[in-house]
Structure 1
Amino acid sequence: MNQSSRVAVLLLLLVQLTTRVVRADDESRSITIVNESGRRVQVHWINPDDGELVPQIEPDLLNGASFDLKSYVGHNFEVRELPAKNTGVCSGEDQTCGVDYFAVNSNHDQVIYIREGASIEHADSRTAATKSAESLLVDCKFAAKTQLEADPQSALSIIDLLSDCVKNGVADEILKANEEISFQEELRKSMGDLMENYTCADMTLNTTEAKRTEYWEGRKVEVMIDRPTAKIHLIENFVTLEECKAVEERAAPNLHDATVEDGRGGSELSEHRKAKQAGIKVDWDMEAEGDLIASLSRRVYDYVNHVLPFGIKENGQEDLMSIQYFGRGLDDEKPDRYMPHCDGDCNGLNFRTGQRMATIVMYCDIPEVGGQTRFRNSNVHVIPKKYAATFFSYIDPVTMKMDSGLTEHSGCPVLVGEKKIVTQWIRLGVDDENSWDSFNSRKEKSATRYILITL
């Protein structure tokens, strides 16, 4: 391979390394539009059937303002400058109003900047990475050219110089990216702390809009988060009235104050967790005879195996848990609730055999006021629906890395009424000979405190 070919291959590899190509499972995209034009503008979606302009914001987008919209790949939009209110004219040379257009592409993290005269600058993750690569190439080419002009005899070493320049440049870009990711993660968690009380107190806040809708065995499934290490699903009509009654009756004699794990293989009472709970052993021998609790538990494992490729079985798993919260009035200073926590490891590290990697929560009774479920680091807010379920997993089945906090969640205070749920935690690597509690008591366990009860 000659020198020019080697350079071409190297540059191609650089672009591939610094360009993040995201494969989407669907065509929906979230767009942020930022008005930096100095004027008021209006944004219209262009109906592909008849060309009708459909306003996306009312009455208009002020200078310096921004707004988010959800659209789809291939949708087209018009951005039009509006006349100044005091003069009735626009900023063009002949006092005409600027107009420009943009189309939603397949990349993620799209931002539309509206510049002077309503001209559009379309930015996204891929174009940003490409620009970074192009800038790095220019710098490295200039360094190589300068070296060649200074020493014409060094032509054979230019490829090594270019290679080192590119390698070091890419390493710097990766370091900057990792630092930015760490910063954004800390910022996200700090913002989650601040928003926790506000979102729980806002009784008008609705369930977060789903990313997409699917169906499983005739049940509607709203996909809220779908990341390699973190998934959050809302499933309608997952549990029946009869199954809820069967669980409540079985749990009644054993209800006691809920506990959290003490970090030493046992459990303890905690102000972080106020509720009643009771574990329920599933009588699998009665499944063939239509036992309601066994049927419900089987449905849980069927759904887990629908989402995750582990072929999970019931052997060695934790008991079903009946958890009940009781409202004592709007002025209750210490209401039943559950503070933010993770059900398993949420440190982004490798999965540890026998630990939790998914949770499913089924709602049997919902309170009149309070009791929402909040995934604060994912900005997912869930208003419980009777007989629905919330499923979330916190493991990447390909890399076996754990979630880094997206599934951290809390149960907002229950103020009026009762909230009764059934929870199942799902572990990977347990069986009849190595049950879940044998892993909890091992000394190799992390010092991180795992919450024993969820929501």
Structure 2
Amino acid sequence: MMMGSNSTLWHWLALALAAVVVMAQSQIPRNLRMLNESGHRLEVYWVSPQGEASMMTNPYLYDGATFPLNTFVGHRFEIREVPNAKTGDCAGEEKVCRRAEFVVSENDDQAVRIAPGLEIEFRDNKVMARREADSLVTECEENAKTAMSAGDPKWMDNLAECVEIAVARKLEVANEEIAFQAQIRTDMATLLENYTCADEHSEATPDVRTEVWTSEKDGVPRAAHIKLDRPASRIHVVDNFIDPIECEAMESEAARTLHRATVADGKGGSRLSENRKAMQAGISVRWDREEIGDPIARLSRRVYDYANHVLGLGIEEHGQEDLMSIQYFGRGRNDTEPDRYTPHCDGDCTGLPHKTGTRMATMVMYCTLPSEGGATNFKNSGVHVKPVAGSAVFFSYIDPEARVMDTGFTEHSGCPVFEGEKKIVTQWIRLGVDSENPWNSFNTLGIKHADAANQ
């Protein structure tokens, strides 16, 4: 095999390494930096699809200056040379002022250097990735050439090992940077949590988009406000999800068995905790009454229908947890230990594969709202929900395709209730349960009780 015929191999290796180095996904908005090193004053214009030019600089981009710009993929910009302030001339042929153009790409971290002669040098994350990949491949290529020249039959194995080691080093550096930035994000979110909850003027997070979902059971169209839409982390607020009759039925059933709410104890059981101050009662759904319009069965069916609409996992009611009526009571702003639920994940939020039989989605339905407090806050994703009576927030923490869990974006809290009452209905939804393997056959660590007893 001749080395000259391997140019395609090196090319594809470089592209593969570039794909490894690029860590971000493309989005429509883009941040752009322009650096003027042309030796002349410049004007920057945005050119509309109709060809109309609008000046972006005020008035000039001076030599040596940097111009940051918030723009969008596909936007076209024109750079225009400004005549010399003393001579009135430009540096182009016959003293004509020169122009240059560029278009914003889909790539991240875009920088435009305007070099002498109004030459445009475009740099972005993919360009830099290819350069890094080329440098990695070059060293491995030289080693492979030397080995081939020496007649080493293992030159291809050595090449593969060289590339593997180089990629591993790059991935290690990239993963360290990702972990560092993720820790900064979560630390900042924790600091902001109490301020966000305490501020009654905190606005609800804007929608990513809004959809309309129509239940096949009642034919009612309901607006679904998409707040977060990641494969393993979704947050939706659905209007008019629970009606007053359903709320009243749940509250009436719960009145007989209300008790202090508990949290998982990390050992497979549950315990009381000051992190969760509320009253709760589990309500078993009478599925045999669904056909006669039982309001609790009707509500529960709607929950599973919506979960299947979003995730497509074919979830059934068999073996699922009871509906939970949860109530918080306000005792004034001076209460040092108000009813609340501090930040927590309803299921695993480790990014690891889903454990059969454990939770993977939650629906929280709002019946009664306090006059002060009681919002739902997803601190790590920056989503703040100010609920309306009758609405519901659905959030899932599993990638339905890869079956891996969220990495903390759905960690959430029930903000303190200061004045009034907050009454909600919650359904935790599990994957991998059925009539023979119901939810209560698993402990809070996701291990079957029978298996745990033998450990």
Q: Does 1:165 align with 2:162?
A: yes
Whether contact under 8 Å (2:375, 2:385) holds in the other structure is yes
Whether contact under 8 Å (1:322, 1:423) holds in the other structure is yes
Given candidates 182, 189, 192, the residue that maps to 1:192 is 189
Identity of aligned residues (%): 46
Measure, in 1, the Cα distance between the counterparts of 2:281 and 2:433: 22
CA shift, 1:98, in A, is 10
Given candidates 175, 178, 182, the residue that maps to 1:178 is 175
Given candidates 294, 300, 304, the residue that maps to 1:301 is 304
Whether contact under 8 Å (2:76, 2:103) holds in the other structure is yes
Measure, in 2, the Cα distance between the counterparts of 1:432 and 1:341: 29
Corresponding residue SS for 2:416: strand
Task: Summarize the alignment of residues 270-281 of structure 1 with structure 2, pairs less than 5 Å apart.
Answer: 270-281=273-284
Q: Provide TM-score, normalisation by structure 2.
A: 0.78
Structure 1 equivalent of residue 452 of structure 2: none
Structure 2 equivalent of residue 19 of structure 1: 19
Structure 2 equivalent of residue 452 of structure 1: none
1:372-420 Cα deviation digits (max 9, x unpaired): 2222222222222332221111122233222221211112212233322
Measure, in 2, the Cα distance between the counterparts of 1:54 and 1:276: 61
Corresponding residue SS for 2:340: strand
Whether contact under 8 Å (1:101, 1:120) holds in the other structure is no
1:101-154 Cα deviation digits (max 9, x unpaired): 54252x5xx334476799785534x44433332332334345556x48xx9545
Amino acid at match of 2:225: E
Measure, in 2, the Cα distance between the counterparts of 1:295 and 1:196: 35
CA shift, 1:212, in A, is 2.8
Measure, in 2, the Cα distance between the counterparts of 1:421 and 1:380: 19
Structure 1 equivalent of residue 435 of structure 2: 432
1:192-215 Cα deviation digits (max 9, x unpaired): 222212222333322223333332
Q: What is the aligned-residue RMSD (CA, Å)? A: 4.0
Q: Does 1:325 align with 2:349?
A: no
Structure 2 equivalent of residue 400 of structure 1: 403
Taking a change above 3 Å as real, the CA distance of residues 281 and 77 of structure 1, as seen in their structure-2 partners, is farther
Q: Does 1:215 align with 2:212?
A: yes
Amino acid at match of 1:355: T
Whether contact under 8 Å (1:312, 1:428) holds in the other structure is yes
Amino acid at match of 1:192: A
Whether contact under 8 Å (2:33, 2:68) holds in the other structure is yes
CA shift, 1:359, in A, is 0.8
Task: Summarize the alignment of residues 87-236 of structure 1 with structure 2, pairs less than 5 Å apart.
Answer: 102-105=103-106, 107=107, 110-113=108-111, 123-124=124-125, 126-143=126-143, 147=146, 153=150, 162-217=159-214, 218-236=221-239
Whether contact under 8 Å (1:112, 1:120) holds in the other structure is no
Corresponding residue SS for 2:109: strand
Taking a change above 3 Å as real, the CA distance of residues 97 and 289 of structure 1, as seen in their structure-2 partners, is farther
Measure, in 2, the Cα distance between the counterparts of 1:103 and 1:403: 33
Given candidates 260, 267, 271, the residue that maps to 1:268 is 271
Whether contact under 8 Å (1:237, 1:387) holds in the other structure is yes
Corresponding residue SS for 1:422: strand
Whether contact under 8 Å (2:264, 2:444) holds in the other structure is no
Whether contact under 8 Å (1:318, 1:436) holds in the other structure is yes
Corresponding residue SS for 1:421: strand
Whether contact under 8 Å (2:47, 2:78) holds in the other structure is no
Q: Provide TM-score, normalisation by structure 1.
A: 0.78
Corresponding residue SS for 1:253: coil
Which structure has the larger Rg over C-alpha atoms? Answer: 2
Structure 2 equivalent of residue 354 of structure 1: 357
Structure 2 equivalent of residue 253 of structure 1: 256
Whether contact under 8 Å (1:258, 1:276) holds in the other structure is yes
* Mean CA deviation greater in 424-433 or 160-169: 160-169
CA shift, 1:222, in A, is 2.6
Taking a change above 3 Å as real, the CA distance of residues 291 and 336 of structure 1, as seen in their structure-2 partners, is same
CA shift, 1:424, in A, is 0.5
Corresponding residue SS for 2:28: strand
CA shift, 1:321, in A, is 0.9
CA shift, 1:312, in A, is 0.8
Q: Does 1:376 align with 2:375?
A: no
Measure, in 2, the Cα distance between the counterparts of 1:47 and 1:160: 53
Unpaired stretches in structure 2, ≥5 consecutive residues: 215-220, 450-455
CA shift, 1:338, in A, is 1.0
Unpaired stretches in structure 1, ≥5 consecutive residues: 447-455
CA shift, 1:224, in A, is 2.5
Whether contact under 8 Å (1:3, 1:159) holds in the other structure is no
1:36-93 Cα deviation digits (max 9, x unpaired): 779xx99986543573749899xx9xx8897867x5x43x165989x9xxx9xxxx99
Task: Summarize the alignment of residues 56-75 of structure 1 with structure 2, pairs less than 5 Å apart.
Answer: 71=72, 73-74=73-74
* Mean CA deviation greater in 192-201 or 10-19: 10-19
CA shift, 1:438, in A, is 1.1
